[in-house]
Structure 1
Amino acid sequence: MMETTRMAVPLLALAAGCACLPGQAAELGLARIFSDHAVLQRDQPIAVWGTADAGRKLAVTLGGRTVTGSADAHGKWKIQLPPQPAGGPYTLTVASGGQTVSRADILVGDVYLCSGQSNMEFTQRQSTNAVGAAYAGRNETLRFLNVPKNSTATPQDELKGPVEWKVVTPETAGDASAVCYYMARSLQGSYKVPVGFVNASWGGTTIQGWIGGESLRTLGDYKDGVAAVAQLGADTAAGMRAEEARNEAWWRAHDPHASAQRAWIATDFDDSAWPTVTPTGSWKDSGLAGFKDFDGVAWYRTTVTLTQAQAKAANALHLGPVDTYDTTWVNGVRVGGASTSWMWRDYAVPAGVFRPGRNVIAMRVLSGGQGGGMSGAPSSRTIGLADGQAIPLPAAWKVARGSALKGLSVPPAPWDVPTSLTTLYNGMIAPLVGYKFKLAAWYQGESNAGAAQEYRTLLPMLMRDWRQRFGQPALPFFVVQLTSFGAPAKAPGQSGWAELRDAQAYAVANDAHAGLAVTLDVGDRFDIHPTQKTIVGERLARAARAVAYGEKTVPGSPTAVSARRTGNDIVIAYKDTGGGLATYSSDRAIGFEVCAGTACRYAEARVAGDTVVLPGAATPDVTRVRYAWADAPFVNLFGADDLPAAPFQLDVK
């Protein structure tokens, strides 16, 4: 699913947390999530962890309570404090052998975990009415932490640093997840306790990246991919060699010239006869002979000279966006590849691959059918050094046409974001394990549209996986259902987005500790990132009041529970109407369909209290009824609480 924000193929991290050997000294420290201004979950045991010299005794103090413990043989420690009620501010202190580490302004209240792709990542400053909300003033008891993006082959003990909890102020509010901010603000207004929210999101990503490997590998389709990610984590060189073998086998099967053109990655290959180009967009617009209407493979090569110090420090290659599928080598060594045109190519390069003197960078690119080639600005292409500095690559590259190929998709490596397996759990969720949360909110699915049947398995798996890992088997989980996006339907038909919404509703309906926020009425069919995040956050908060806080209230949108024949009519019964259904701008509800097998047709629909009647629709051939079954449906059926009726499909009884 295409996203409009800039994203980068990550420098995949391989090592986890503190890699201290038994008996090795480790600096006394707290895990990064325990920064100044942190919020800890009330009324649950509070785990605190960090590093220290192996075997060293420690004392952790919070709110006048002290608990002691010791670091293990690897220099890691975890100490559990007793539950505390909402309160603060406190100082969190760790003392050991005359050393002290402390964090100030710690509150105890409710903590929310928010995750997903770009619509959860979407910041408060981008949302409708952002200025008015942000300038509501400083709120000392509302705080947030944004988890840095990190895709790793092994589960991490620590967040990628630095991280910090921020107090919500007019200056900081804009950096927060809009949906999470508005949900948290609403709930704090109801319960008057400190609230902290943690946002771990990454635009464009699929759900498979957010599920732990032990769970995901139980599905046969992912067993080998999860094993490949684990191999990369255990032995980087072996993992990369295995992926290159898989990748080249695909190329040999689909490109008749793949084997012969492998010679083009060699450092001693003579490319002097190739034309020179400064890539800045599609090769179809480059003016090069033979490229105007070309779909297929192109090869790029360039050279860069490094000093001994530069070669030693060089650890990354940055190439900007590439349209669409690339494989990239440095001095004949494969350093990466990706399969998404809007992802920036940022590849980690192992030590020793760059060398003093002349270095050759080669890239094979397969176009996706629209453009093709290195589509970014020349300034986006650099060699990264260990100290954060960068060496610009030459603007000019040698280029040659390869095979004409069309309609092919190169399978990505199983660790390639945005379609990676388990790596986002490893780098962004695993480091949070031990922290307790009041609830989790999930806004994702756009990138899985088109695979809804699988999502019916994956979303419940993610919820079970996180609950098990956090040690909270009843952790409330709230799902934002996909909104409307895309061309409006002019006739009944298939819809990947409608199927995905149905999968989300299925997961929630079969989970006693979950809730759903329906958002069909606040989408933007022209923009996958609608800006009405206030309403989305409020609807999540409404569901949370019922499920997480136990209020006796309607948790969400009117939901169809049955469709029955009554004479010549079909009558659809609803729950959670808030006092009755209503239609806006008409005396009839639009968007209802009756289906005979796979053939569907629109049906007249009228509201009658908590039911919708489809007059004359109960013909013998009709077996199913559905509502709002389109990517971007127009809807006018609402409950008494001004919540849109949820989309559905039901068998007719």
Structure 2
Amino acid sequence: MKLRTFSCCLQIALLLAVSELAVTASADVKLPNVLGSGMVLQRDLPVPVWGWADAAEKVSVSFAGQTKTTTAGDDGKWMVKLDPLTANSSPARMTVTGNNKISLDNVLVGEVWICSGQSNMEWSLNASLNGKAEVSAANHPVIRLFNVPGHTTSPLPKETGAGSWQVCQPRSANGFSAVGYFFGRRLHLELDVPVGLIGSNWGGTRIEPWTTLAGFESVPELSEIAAQVRNYKADTKVGGGSPAAIYNSMVHPLAPFAMRGGIWYQGESNGGEGVTYYHKKHALVNGWRQIFQNKDLAFYWVQLANFQQENRHPAGGDGWAKIREAQTQALDIPGTGMAVITDIGAANDIHPRNKQDVGWRLAQWALHQTYGERDLVPAGPLYKDHKVEGDAIRLTFQYVGEGLMVGQKNGLKPTEQIQDGTLEHFAIAGVDRKWFWAEATIDGDTVVVKSADVPEPVAVRYAFTMNPAKANLYNKEGIPASPFRTDRWLGPSEKLKWTEVGDDLPPKSVSGSSTTVIFQNKAGQKVKIFWVEYGGGLKLYGELKPGGTRKQSTFANASWLITDEKDKPLGYFRTTPKVGLAVIPKR
């Protein structure tokens, strides 16, 4: 009897012990990878620290004399926010305590930036100009690097990801983003504080996969993409081109890590777009500012470099001209800036090796606008306004700095002023919209443009082409002017084919390069205009009275269905990359 009682007690004790071990194991406090030893925390802002534990588990975070305590929610998630910290280059320890204790060592406080985009941001330090020497010199103990590894996607936002913080030294800097490194190095040297750089990049990607659902929803023109993302399920198959899919896997696990801002080098894969890229840039910035819980998150991007053979037709408008224009127009987003690099590209290489100037020019924006160094001119001349003066047009600019000049950039050398040089790549046109190369001269802080072929000018274009290799307007700070045009004329057009339909709908739209369609109603009756969505649904864009016209931004390979007032299908148009003239015929 005693033996049986002892056996029962032993079994109960063992069960209790195992149960306690199981509870302890399941209750371990866990942190995301971005919160780790060696990290840099953002100074002067509240610092979120978050993770997972058992429901109702008490969690405490201690750092720099602060202790913040919270309780995990029913879903096991918890978060505290440290009060703003001052910069600190001395390694410190953070402890996170629940049923277990985590110690994070070698933690600094300074400035944190995310560096993101496609291959030109991903381009490694060792492959940049003078890469071997740059890597050898990359010993900066208080610069820390966090690289999101691999190229991964997800249909829904992921809470965990991979990566770890590394001290900046040749081994860790070797494969890190060259643009990110040169940007961060300049910030560290100028500000004399630790700098944390987070790299999340994927070559060959478009902007849409990096954008959040909330970002798409914030821009009415992108409602169809938002609808597509809202329909994602856990088992939806997505890839590197799927909207929000890269963000979900390679950015969301980082949020809401406190940071000062982001730098962005992307656009080649959206190179055929114009105004649609402008809308997508708004969506990207809006979404990231929301997810990182910082409405003032600084955001600086790189305008696409000159590339491919030079087009010597004065009208320009080819290749990347319109996406550069969209990148410039997106500067209407507060707290943003753009590094112009149309002077350091290569005709035969989409990956310019000179990443030093790219990082330097991005840092110029950050130092001026984010860190208040107002004596620095953040950019080259940016078109502001124009005035017709007889047979000439006078142009005015922002960011003139110490004055305008004819310049020349060679490799990593500072821009050289060309005394008595001639400005290149200015074109001028009259009301007939025929373009001619123009004579352009610097007059104080303005440029005067004229041509004997255009006695009554109305518009000017500068460097408005895929490869404006000879463009040479700079300010005396050595930063190039951004390409621009003063007109808003549409490009080459073509009449679109009208296809009659019965009860069957036209083909679904397929995303393509941005363009414009002009509807002309000659049907003799009021009609409705519907866009055929990617999934085949219909979205009403408006009605058109007999004899009326409507200009609509769209993209190549879009289908537009025309119905009568009672929604009876009449016919459809399929757009092309050219401006489309969509004449609705009389039946």
Q: How do 1:356-505 residues align onto structure 2 when only pairs under 5 Å count?
A: 415-417=238-240, 419-492=241-314, 493-505=316-328
List per-residue Cα deviations over 1:583-619 (Å, max 9, x = no partner): 1456210000113465322111122221111234694
Q: Which residue of 2 aligns with 1:205?
A: 205
In structure 2, the CA distance between the partners of 1:81 and 1:147, relative to structure 1 (3 Å rule), is same
List per-residue Cα deviations over 1:493-520 (Å, max 9, x = no partner): 3323111111111111x12311111101
Q: Which residue of 1 aligns with 2:536?
A: none
Does 1:646 pair with 2:488? no
Contact 1:522 1:530 survives alignment (8 Å): yes
Does 1:602 pair with 2:437? yes
In structure 2, the CA distance between the partners of 1:603 and 1:33, relative to structure 1 (3 Å rule), is same
Q: What is the CA–CA distance in structure 1 between the aligned matches of 2:254 and 2:452, rounded to whole Å?
A: 53
Letter in 1 for 2:457: V
List per-residue Cα deviations over 1:556-591 (Å, max 9, x = no partner): 111121221122221112231221211145621000
Letter in 1 for 2:394: V
Q: Which residue of 2 aligns with 1:542?
A: 364
Letter in 2 for 1:483: A
Q: What is the CA–CA distance in structure 1 between the aligned matches of 2:452 and 2:213, rounded to whole Å?
A: 48
Contact 2:377 2:477 survives alignment (8 Å): no
Letter in 2 for 1:165: W
Structure ranking higher on relative contact order (CA contacts 8 Å, 6+ apart): 1
List per-residue Cα deviations over 1:106-127 (Å, max 9, x = no partner): 1111001111111111111111
Letter in 1 for 2:92: Y
Q: Which residue of 2 aligns with 1:588?
A: 422
Does 1:565 pair with 2:399? no
Q: Which residue of 2 aligns with 1:62?
A: 63
Contact 1:439 1:477 survives alignment (8 Å): yes
- Over aligned residues, Cα RMSD in angstroms? 2.3
Contact 1:494 1:630 survives alignment (8 Å): yes
Contact 2:400 2:445 survives alignment (8 Å): yes
In structure 2, the CA distance between the partners of 1:224 and 1:513, relative to structure 1 (3 Å rule), is closer
Q: What is the CA–CA distance in structure 2 between the aligned matches of 1:58 and 1:459, rounded to whole Å?
A: 38
Q: Which residue of 2 aligns with 1:156?
A: 158
Q: What is the CA–CA distance in structure 2 between the aligned matches of 1:442 and 1:40, rounded to whole Å?
A: 21
Contact 2:393 2:448 survives alignment (8 Å): yes
Q: What is the CA–CA distance in structure 2 between the aligned matches of 1:589 and 1:32, rounded to whole Å?
A: 52
Deviation of 1:133 after TM superposition, in Å, equals 2.2
Q: What is the CA–CA distance in structure 1 between the aligned matches of 2:191 and 2:453, rounded to whole Å?
A: 48
**TM-score under structure 2 normalisation?**
0.73
Letter in 1 for 2:146: L
Q: What is the CA–CA distance in structure 1 between the aligned matches of 2:25 and 2:230, rounded to whole Å?
A: 26
State the secondary structure of the residue aligned to 1:521.
Answer: coil
State the secondary structure of the residue aligned to 1:537.
Answer: helix
Q: Which residue of 2 aligns with 1:183?
A: 183
Task: Give aligned pairs, total.
Answer: 449
Deviation of 1:651 after TM superposition, in Å, equals 4.0
In structure 2, the CA distance between the partners of 1:592 and 1:115, relative to structure 1 (3 Å rule), is same
Q: Which residue of 2 aligns with 1:233?
A: 233
Contact 1:568 1:618 survives alignment (8 Å): no
In structure 2, the CA distance between the partners of 1:459 and 1:232, relative to structure 1 (3 Å rule), is closer
Contact 1:153 1:230 survives alignment (8 Å): no
Contact 1:62 1:92 survives alignment (8 Å): yes
Q: What is the CA–CA distance in structure 1 between the aligned matches of 2:55 and 2:425, rounded to whole Å?
A: 65
State the secondary structure of the residue aligned to 1:496.
Answer: coil
Q: What is the CA–CA distance in structure 2 between the aligned matches of 1:55 and 1:603, rounded to whole Å?
A: 73
Q: What is the CA–CA distance in structure 1 between the aligned matches of 2:330 and 2:291, rounded to whole Å?
A: 19
Q: What is the CA–CA distance in structure 1 between the aligned matches of 2:193 and 2:261, rounded to whole Å?
A: 15
Q: What is the CA–CA distance in structure 2 between the aligned matches of 1:26 and 1:618, rounded to whole Å?
A: 80
In structure 2, the CA distance between the partners of 1:617 and 1:192, relative to structure 1 (3 Å rule), is farther
List per-residue Cα deviations over 1:465-503 (Å, max 9, x = no partner): 211222211211111111111111121333231111111
Deviation of 1:622 after TM superposition, in Å, equals 3.3
Q: What is the CA–CA distance in structure 2 between the aligned matches of 1:110 and 1:618, rounded to whole Å?
A: 54
Q: How do 1:264-283 residues align onto structure 2 when only pairs under 5 Å count?
A: none
State the secondary structure of the residue aligned to 1:91.
Answer: strand
Letter in 2 for 1:559: L
Q: Which residue of 2 aligns with 1:277?
A: none
Q: What is the CA–CA distance in structure 2 between the aligned matches of 1:550 and 1:604, rounded to whole Å?
A: 38
Q: Which residue of 2 aligns with 1:273?
A: none
Q: Which residue of 1 aligns with 2:98?
A: 96
Q: Which residue of 2 aligns with 1:632?
A: 467
Identity %: 35
Q: How do 1:163-182 residues align onto structure 2 when only pairs under 5 Å count?
A: 163-182=163-182
Q: How do 1:304-315 residues align onto structure 2 when only pairs under 5 Å count?
A: none
Contact 2:441 2:449 survives alignment (8 Å): yes
Contact 1:569 1:617 survives alignment (8 Å): no
In structure 2, the CA distance between the partners of 1:599 and 1:577, relative to structure 1 (3 Å rule), is same
Unaligned runs of 5+ in 2: 1-23, 408-417, 489-587
Q: What is the CA–CA distance in structure 2 between the aligned matches of 1:125 and 1:609, rounded to whole Å?
A: 43
**TM-score under structure 1 normalisation?**
0.66
Contact 1:150 1:424 survives alignment (8 Å): yes
Contact 1:24 1:54 survives alignment (8 Å): no
1:611 counterpart (425, 446, 459): 446
Contact 2:436 2:451 survives alignment (8 Å): no
Q: What is the CA–CA distance in structure 2 between the aligned matches of 1:59 and 1:141, rounded to whole Å?
A: 27
Letter in 1 for 2:441: R
Contact 1:593 1:627 survives alignment (8 Å): yes
Letter in 1 for 2:152: N
Q: How do 1:244-259 residues align onto structure 2 when only pairs under 5 Å count?
A: none
Contact 2:428 2:450 survives alignment (8 Å): no
Unaligned runs of 5+ in 1: 1-22, 241-414
Letter in 2 for 1:609: G
Q: Which residue of 2 aligns with 1:299?
A: none
Q: What is the CA–CA distance in structure 1 between the aligned matches of 2:179 and 2:301, rounded to whole Å?
A: 12
Does 1:555 pair with 2:378? yes
Letter in 2 for 1:416: G
In structure 2, the CA distance between the partners of 1:231 and 1:455, relative to structure 1 (3 Å rule), is closer
List per-residue Cα deviations over 1:208-249 (Å, max 9, x = no partner): 111111332566776565555554424x2xx46xxxxxxxxx
